[in-house]
Chains A and B, each alone.
Chain A
Amino acid sequence: MAFSKLVDYLKRDAEIYPEKIAAIAGSEKITYKELYAKVLERSAKFKKGEVVAFRSSQDIDFLITYFAIHQAGAIAAPLEKDIPESRFKEISEMISSSSVPEEVADILFTTGTTGKSKGVMISHRTIVSNGENLIEGQLFSHNLLFIINGPMNHIGSLSKIFPTTMLGSTIYFLEGMKDLDLFFQALDYPADKVATFFVPATIRMLLQFSEERLASYKDKIDFIESGAAPLPHSDMLKLCEVLPNTRLYNTYASTETGIISTYNFNDGRCTPGCLGKPMSHSKVIITEEGKISCKGDTLMTGYVNDPLLTATILRDNTIFTSDLGVLDEEGMLHIKGRESDVINVGGFKVAPTEVEDVAMSLPEVKDCICISVEHKITGRALKLLVVLKEGETLNKQRIARFLKEKLEAYKVPMLYEQVESVKRTYNGKMDRKYYTNNNQ
C-alpha cells in the first residue's frame, strides 16, 4: 500500500513488523515498534509548520528526531554534525523566519550549482518518489541490512532511510569509516543481504588496505552504491574483480534533482561515466548546450527564501544542471563534465568564493584563490593559493584552523601554497579556467 509520507510507512512498519529491528548503532538496537513509540513521544516537542534545525548524527537518536519532526507536521533541517556554532545560529535564524510551502518535509543545505550554501526544500512526495526510485532501480528488499556510514545531512546517506523505511528493512549506522574493523563487524551482522553507500575515496581506501578481507564477503554484499563524485575507472574494474557477485551502482543524484538514474557497472562492460537509465519517477533531457536537465517527482520544491535563485535552475518543472551529458542509443545517461565553478570534493560541493572570502579576512592574506587539484585518495582536493603581505610567512595550520572556525570541515582546503600573485582575466576577475586547465 502506498502512503504519501515516510512517517506513515514507519507507522505501518510498527504495526506489521513490530519486533523487527529497525536500526542498529554501536551496542544499541531498536525495533520498529519501539522506534515509532519514541517518535510519537518526541513529536510533542515540535509544532506544525515549524522549521527545526538540528545537528545530524549517525545514530538512532537522529531517526527519532527526524521522524518526530515529520510526525508533528514540522520541517526537518539536519545540519552538519560539526558545523561551527555561529553558522548553526545563522542558518537557524534564517530558516525559522522563512516562508516554507506546506508540502515541504526537509530543508537540506548544500552548495547550490551557482555558489554559496543554499537550503534545498524537499517535499514529502519527493521523499517517497526517491524511495520508490531506489527500490526499483537498486532492488532494495525487506530482508536487507543497509549500512549507513556517511553524514545524515547529506542526501547520499539520508536518502537510504527512504527505501528501508518503506520496506521495513534494517539500518546499521556507522560513524564514518575510519575504523574499518567496525565496518567488517557490521558486515558480520546476521542478515541475509547487506548493502551500503560509499563515496569514491572510501572505495579507494578499502581496495588499498582491505582488498582480501572485502573479497571474503563477496556472497553477502548484495550491492554497493557509489556516487556524489566520479569513481576512477581503475577502481571500478578492481571492485568488479573483488566482488564479482555484487551489484555495483554509480548513481546520478543531487539534493536539487533527487535520485535520477543508476547503473550497475558490474555488468561485464563496466562503462566509465555511465549513470544508467532514468528511474520511473525521473526523466532526463539533454539541452541544446549539452547539459543535463531533469524532470519528475524527485525534484526539489526550491531554495528556501530565494525564489530568484530557484528560478535560475528550476523552470517549467525542470531542473537545469551545470553537468554536461549525453543519452546513448540504449537511453543510458553518460556524464561528460561540469560547467560550473563549484568544486566537488569527495561528494561535497564547495563554492571556492566562500573559502576565499573567509581566507581574505586573515590579516596576513593579501590575495588568494581556492582551486581543485588531483589527490591520490579523494580524487580531487581543495588547494588554497595564497599571496601574503610583505614580511609574512605561510602558516598552513593557522589558516586551516581559522577556516575551520568559520566553515564546515569539508570546505577547509587540505593543501596550501604561497604564490606571488593570483592570475586574473583582462577584466580583473580570477582566472579560474587557467587553474582548472593547469591542475588536471
Chain B
Amino acid sequence: MKERIRQLLEDALPLVDFDSDFLFRELDSLGVTTILMTLSEEYHIKLDAKDATPKNLKSLDSLVALVESKLAKN
C-alpha cells in the first residue's frame, strides 16, 4: 500500500518530497486537498478537514496509517 500511495501522490504533487518526515511543513493548502482527495478516491474512504492534521500528514508512513485506520472502520 505504501508504494501505491507514494506513486499516486508523487504523480499528483511532483514538487513534494514524500520521503520527508516533515511533510506537512512542505505542503500548501492545495497539496493537503490533493492528498485527501486522491486517497479518498483510491480507497473509497471518507476524509474530511479534521483528518488533515499535522500529525496525520507528517510523513508517508503516517498517511498509510491514516488510510489503514479509515479502512478498518469501514
Q: Which residues of A contact B (CB under 8 A)?
A: 176-181, 201-202, 204-206, 208-210, 213, 346, 376-378, 396-397, 399-401, 404, 409, 412, 414, 416
Are B10 and A397 in contact, with the CB atoms below 8 A?
Answer: yes
Are B52 and A201 in contact, with the CB atoms below 8 A?
Answer: no
Given A409-B15, A414-B14, CB of A213 within 8 Å of CB of B49: yes
Cross-interface CB contact of B27 among A178, A181, A213, A412, cutoff 8 Å? A178
Task: Give 1 or 0 for each of B54-65: 1 = CB within 8 Å of chain A CB.
Answer: 100000000000
Are B47 and A179 in contact, with the CB atoms below 8 A?
Answer: no
Minimum CB–CB distance from B45 to chain A (whole Å) comes to 13
Q: Is B33 an interface residue (CB 8 A)?
A: yes
Are A178 and B32 in contact, with the CB atoms below 8 A?
Answer: yes
Minimum CB–CB distance from B64 to chain A (whole Å) comes to 20
Q: Give the residue name and chain of the A residue nearest to B25 (CB).
A: A178
Are A180 and B52 in contact, with the CB atoms below 8 A?
Answer: yes
Minimum CB–CB distance from A177 to chain B (whole Å) comes to 4
Are B29 and A412 in contact, with the CB atoms below 8 A?
Answer: no
Taken together as a complex, chains A and B put the C-alpha atoms of A414 and B29 apart, in Å, by 14
Are B31 and A181 in contact, with the CB atoms below 8 A?
Answer: no
Q: Using Cβ atoms and an 8 Å threshold, which residues of chain B touch A401?
A: 14-15
Taken together as a complex, chains A and B put the C-alpha atoms of A109 and B54 apart, in Å, by 32
8 Å CB interface, B11-67 against A: 11-15, 24, 27-34, 36-37, 47-50, 52-54
Taken together as a complex, chains A and B put the C-alpha atoms of A201 and B27 apart, in Å, by 15
Are A178 and B15 in contact, with the CB atoms below 8 A?
Answer: no
Are A396 and B11 in contact, with the CB atoms below 8 A?
Answer: yes
Chain B: how many interface residues by the 8 Å CB criterion? Answer: 24
Minimum CB–CB distance from A195 to chain B (whole Å) comes to 19
Q: Which residues of B contact A (CB under 8 A)?
A: 10-15, 24, 27-34, 36-37, 47-50, 52-54
Q: Give the residue name and chain of the B residue nearest to A398 (CB).
A: B14
Q: Using Cβ atoms and an 8 Å threshold, which residues of chain A touch B30?
A: 201, 346, 377-378
Taken together as a complex, chains A and B put the C-alpha atoms of A202 and B50 apart, in Å, by 16
Q: Give the residue name and chain of the A residue nearest to B13 (CB).
A: A414
Given A180-B52, A400-B14, A414-B13, CB of A208 within 8 Å of CB of B37: yes
Determine chain A's interface SS by DSSP, over half rule.
helix
| Number of residue pairs A-B, CB distance < 8 angstroms | 66
Are A377 and B37 in contact, with the CB atoms below 8 A?
Answer: yes
Minimum CB–CB distance from A393 to chain B (whole Å) comes to 15
Minimum CB–CB distance from B44 to chain A (whole Å) comes to 15
Q: Using Cβ atoms and an 8 Å threshold, which residues of chain A touch B50?
A: 181
Minimum CB–CB distance from A387 to chain B (whole Å) comes to 18
Taken together as a complex, chains A and B put the C-alpha atoms of A400 and B10 apart, in Å, by 11
Are B12 and A177 in contact, with the CB atoms below 8 A?
Answer: no
Q: Give the residue name and chain of the B residue nearest to A211 (CB).
A: B48
Q: Using Cβ atoms and an 8 Å threshold, which residues of chain B touch A377?
A: 30, 33-34, 37
Minimum CB–CB distance from B18 to chain A (whole Å) comes to 10
Q: Using Cβ atoms and an 8 Å threshold, which residues of chain B touch A404?
A: 15
Given A176-B28, A376-B37, CB of A209 within 8 Å of CB of B49: yes
Taken together as a complex, chains A and B put the C-alpha atoms of A318 and B65 apart, in Å, by 57
Q: Give the residue name and chain of the A residue nearest to B48 (CB).
A: A209
Taken together as a complex, chains A and B put the C-alpha atoms of A236 and B47 apart, in Å, by 23
Q: Give the residue name and chain of the A residue nearest to B41 (CB).
A: A376
Taken together as a complex, chains A and B put the C-alpha atoms of A162 and B32 apart, in Å, by 30
Which of B11, B28, B29, B34 is the most central at the interface, judged by chain A CB atoms within 10 Å of its CB?
A: B29
Taken together as a complex, chains A and B put the C-alpha atoms of A98 and B34 apart, in Å, by 41
Are B14 and A177 in contact, with the CB atoms below 8 A?
Answer: no
Taken together as a complex, chains A and B put the C-alpha atoms of A100 and B15 apart, in Å, by 37
Cross-interface CB contact of A178 among B14, B28, B47, cutoff 8 Å? B28
Cross-interface CB contact of A176 among B13, B29, B34, cutoff 8 Å? B29
Taken together as a complex, chains A and B put the C-alpha atoms of A44 and B36 apart, in Å, by 47
Minimum CB–CB distance from B29 to chain A (whole Å) comes to 4
Are B13 and A179 in contact, with the CB atoms below 8 A?
Answer: no
Q: Give the residue name and chain of the B residue nearest to A413 (CB).
A: B14
Q: Using Cβ atoms and an 8 Å threshold, which residues of chain A touch B28?
A: 176, 178, 409
Minimum CB–CB distance from B19 to chain A (whole Å) comes to 11
Minimum CB–CB distance from A140 to chain B (whole Å) comes to 25
Are A396 and B14 in contact, with the CB atoms below 8 A?
Answer: yes
Q: Using Cβ atoms and an 8 Å threshold, which residues of chain B touch A378?
A: 30
Cross-interface CB contact of B15 among A179, A209, A412, cutoff 8 Å? A412
Q: Using Cβ atoms and an 8 Å threshold, which residues of chain A touch B11?
A: 396
Are A205 and B10 in contact, with the CB atoms below 8 A?
Answer: no
Q: Using Cβ atoms and an 8 Å threshold, which residues of chain B touch A209?
A: 33, 36, 47-49, 52
What 10 pairs between A and B have smallest CB-CB spacing?
Answer: A400-B14, A180-B49, A177-B29, A210-B49, A209-B49, A178-B29, A205-B33, A178-B32, A396-B14, A209-B48
Q: Give the residue name and chain of the A residue nearest to B46 (CB).
A: A209
